[in-house]
Amino acid sequence: MSKSSIHANRPLSPHLQIYKPIPTMVMSIVHRVTGAALYVGTLLVAWWLIAAAIGEDYFNFVNAIYGSWLGLLVLLGYTWALLHHMIGGIRHLIWDTGRGLEKETTTKMAWASLILSVTLTVLVWIAAFTIA
């Protein structure tokens, strides 16, 4: 059997459709997506700070946008993305030390990062609305 016939039925480049999604794979993808989303969210924070520097009228305008239901939804997503990305970074930092690389541990850490990011997001928003 030639080498080319062995590989004839195999895809040249694996795609996500071939692999069964596992928690660590999904969290890796989500970590990348949240990292990209943080670019947009950081622009929104910068816009808010610039509005504060420009003057009260413009600041009130931006605050009205952020205070709308759509603005609050975007800010909620930004909060979650920020916390999830941070927790994912901590997870990767732990892995960089050579710890937690067992399959069972990586799966538990993936689920924990999702649960912890959602929990912390809820707590941050409860604190924000309680203090404000």
Per-residue confidence in pLDDT tens, the chain, 132 aa: 555 556 566 666 667 677 788 999 999 999 999 999 999 999 999 999 999 999 999 999 999 999 999 999 999 999 999 999 999 999 999 999 999 999 999 999 999 999 999 999 999 999 999 997
CATH number, span 22-131: 1.20.1300.10
Contact 121, 80 (CB under 8 A): yes
What predicted TM-score, i.e. pTM, was given to this entire model? Answer: 0.84
Q: CA–CA separation, 88 vs 116, rounded Å?
A: 10
Was 85 annotated as part of a binding site? yes
